[in-house]
Amino acid sequence: MSVPQSYDVSLLDDERYRLLVDSITDYAIYMLDPEGKIASWNPGAQRFKGYEAWEILGEHFSRFYTPEDRLARAPEHALRMAATEGRFEREGWRVRKDGSRFWAHVIIDPIWSRSGELLGFAKVTRDLTERKRAEAELRLSEEKFQILVQGVTDYALYMLDPDGRVSNWNSGAARIKGYTADEIVGKHFSQFYTPEDRERGEPNRSLETARREGRFEREAWRQRKDGTRFWAHVIIDAIRNEDGTLIGFAKITRDITEKVEAQKALTQAREELFQSQKMEAIGQLTGGVAHDFNNLLMAVLGSLEILKKRLPDDPALTPLLDNAIQGAERGAALTQRMLAFSRRQELNMQAINVPALVSGMMDFVQRSLSASASVETRFAKNLPHVTSDPVQLETAVLNLVVNARDAMAGGGTIVISAEEYFADKNVERLKPGRYVRLAVADSGEGMDEETLIRATTPFFTTKGVGKGTGLGLSMVQGLTEQSGGKLDIQSQKGKGTTVSLYLPAADANDCPQSSEQTMPSPAATPIGRLTILAVDDDALVLMNTTLMLEDLGHTVIEAYSGTDALKELRSGAHDIDLVITDHSMPRMTGSELAAVIREERPGLPVVLATGYAELPTGGDNRLPRLPKPFSQNQLEEIIATVLAGGR
């Protein structure tokens, strides 16, 4: 009997189906009977569930479920849902033969006979563990990223849609810009810009640059919710998908106001340091030039004095000599200003009664003023004395009065005032303590900010050519700071100027009286012929000193250095009565020479000839000084004073 053709085809289809199912290894495909027992098993099921066919056929499929799912009767629920709904699909944890778990995607379909009888279930399971792990890692990464973004408080990090509306908002943005996420998400980012930037179209220009070039970066002013402004560093990056379509912008904003202010402060500090170094260099240069110039003036003035004495009284020559002497004296006055600026001028520090000092010079002050200018004095009662050099302080006040006069072209009133001032904490160039504020105020044209900054700069002047040296205020500042105080200038254009000298209150214990008050009058002690050792490394100065001393009738032994002077003293060839030595000499200064002489010849008087106080630390500041350039009269007076003090 032959087999029907339809039967052959059916067997062939079944065989093909079996081969297809058995060749699938990425899916577990097997059959369940109506009670859930396993009726077939393919290689894919064997591969990732771990059971051979003979081990699992006839067993209930619930053994693939976790204990907690079995306890919840999940297997029965799955079959019931498949039977009633026609399909069951879910993802969940499943258990392999070795007890390990995997994440499975499960589909259960019911199988019905033609008569509607439930024959069983077709079950397809796929191992999605790797995908599950990748999704978990991605989710964890996204969560970490969100935590990171939200945790950043120094930067505003947020997204914009292609039109520039805010789509998310981190805590840094809330802190810096002042808006909460509810207030700003959905709003256009242009509201962070200043009104003037919005008028210029800056928001749209920045987005267009980012859209065209992929990135926009700039620093500019931005505005917070409360209207205050901050200096921002802004970056906008264009975000595109895989096909290049723009999906929005990533925006990063940082408030760098403090950084910019710190940079400005650093720049200002550097400029101030540079200015300080420059002024120190100018001071050193000025002091050195003034010292050398004093030596030259010493030779000129001394020689002119001797020449005037020795020449006959000739009406044609005498005015020329007087004019030359006057010019050299003006040069000496200029060097005094230069030395005062460089704070290398020798000061005769005394306790000064400021009202008495100003009152004593009022006649001279009045003669210095024009007919349209007047001067008033206003002094507080019971002012303490101040510590300074009275002669230099008079000169400083006169300088300020003359400056005030020149500032009032149409006339006006100059007010000289003094009051007590207490510095209870460190302020610029002024230590805590008790001071007297001596001020000269005018109602003149005043100074603009640029002029005020440069007012004390040496050689800077607003006066015409030949009307000012530019050293007046520099000299006043040098004197004030050398006295332990400070100079302050307050001025506004069109509202006048007030220059204040803060001078430390005098302490009687720290302020010795001047030598003129403690030594006998030179006239009371006649001077005979002396043998004087003159020491100076400048040949012109030494020759000039020798001429003046010899003209006074003294015998002079010359030495060009401290070492030469000691050799002369130790030789005993001459009975030396007095040593006059320059202070600033190489290898051995005049003060060092005086210290050796004090050790070897204690009774021998020494006079220092110097243009400024530059004794080394530990030097004897009580040594008598002869300021350069000195005249023959000054030379004679210091000799008489020193010898009278010695006796």
Centroid of chain to Cα 220: 22
Q: Is the pLDDT of residue 622 over 80?
A: no
In this structure, are residues 214 and 239 in contact, taking their beta carbons and an 8 Å threshold? no
Residue whose structure tokens are 């904490």: 425
pLDDT tens for each residue of 349-375? 788 899 988 888 787 677 777 777 888
Q: How many CB atoms lie within 10 A of CB 185?
A: 15
In this structure, are residues 166 and 186 in contact, taking their beta carbons and an 8 Å threshold? yes
Q: Is the pLDDT of residue 494 over 80?
A: no
**Where do the domains of the chain lie, and which CATH numbers do they carry?**
5-133 (3.30.450.20), 152-255 (3.30.450.20), 267-342 (1.10.287), 350-510 (3.30.565.10), 521-646 (3.40.50.2300)
Token pair for residue 566? 């000691």
In this structure, are residues 321 and 305 in contact, taking their beta carbons and an 8 Å threshold? no
pLDDT at 513: 45
Q: Residue 70: pLDDT band by 50, 70, 90 thresholds?
A: very high
Residue whose structure tokens are 């400056």: 403
Q: Is the pLDDT of residue 102 over 70?
A: yes
Token pair for residue 416? 């000289």
Half-sphere exposure of 203 (CA within 13 A, CB side): 19
pLDDT at 16: 61
Give 518 or 259, the one with higher predicted confidence: 259
Q: What is the rounded distance in angstroms from the CA atom of residue 174 to the CA atom of residue 180?
A: 5
The DSSP-derived string for 306-356 is HHHHHS---TTTHHHHHHHHHHHHHHHHHHHHHHHHHT-S----EEE-HHH
3-state SS of the chain: helix, strand, coil percent to 5?
Answer: 45, 25, 30
Token pair for residue 243? 């096909």
Q: State the Cα angle at 143 between 141 and 149, rounded to 5°.
A: 100
List of residues 6+ apart from 539 with CB closer than 8 A: 560
Q: Residue 456: pLDDT band by 50, 70, 90 thresholds?
A: low
User: H or E segment at 7?
Assistant: helix 5-23
Q: What is the mean pLDDT of residues 612-628?
A: 61
pLDDT at 106: 92
pLDDT tens for each residue of 129-164? 888 787 777 677 656 656 655 655 677 888 889 999
pLDDT tens for each residue of 178-222? 898 888 899 999 999 999 999 999 999 999 999 999 899 998 999
Ranked by mean pLDDT, the top range of 81-95, 281-295, 574-588 is 81-95
Q: Tell which residue, 385, 638, 642, 389, has the closest CA to residue 514.
A: 389
Give 347 or 32, the one with higher predicted confidence: 32
- Percent of the chain clearing pLDDT 70 (strictly above): 76
Token pair for residue 363? 């006649």
pTM exceeds 0.75 for this model? no
Q: What is the mean pLDDT of the chain?
A: 79
pLDDT at 532: 92
Q: What is the rounded distance in angstroms from the CA atom of residue 336 to the CA atom of residue 396?
A: 12
Q: What is the mean pLDDT of residues 482-497?
A: 83
pLDDT at 434: 87
Q: Range with the lowest mean pLDDT among 385-389, 456-460, 517-521?
A: 517-521
pLDDT at 69: 93
- Percent of the chain clearing pLDDT 90 (strictly above): 20
How far are the Cα atoms of 50, 255, 261 from residue 345, in angstroms, in the given order? 104, 52, 40
Residue whose structure tokens are 């199912």: 21
Q: Range with the lowest mean pLDDT among 325-334, 414-423, 595-604, 616-625?
A: 616-625
pLDDT tens for each residue of 504-559? 888 755 544 443 333 444 444 456 789 999 999 888 888 888 888 888 889 999 99
Q: Is the pLDDT of residue 465 over 80?
A: no
Residue whose structure tokens are 């008033």: 376
Q: What is the mean pLDDT of residues 294-322?
A: 73
Q: What is the rounded distance in angstroms from the CA atom of residue 646 to the CA atom of residue 515?
A: 13
Beginning with the edge strand found earlier in the chain, give each strand of the sheet holding 215-223 in spatial order. Answer: 155-160, 246-255, 229-240, 215-223
pLDDT at 205: 92
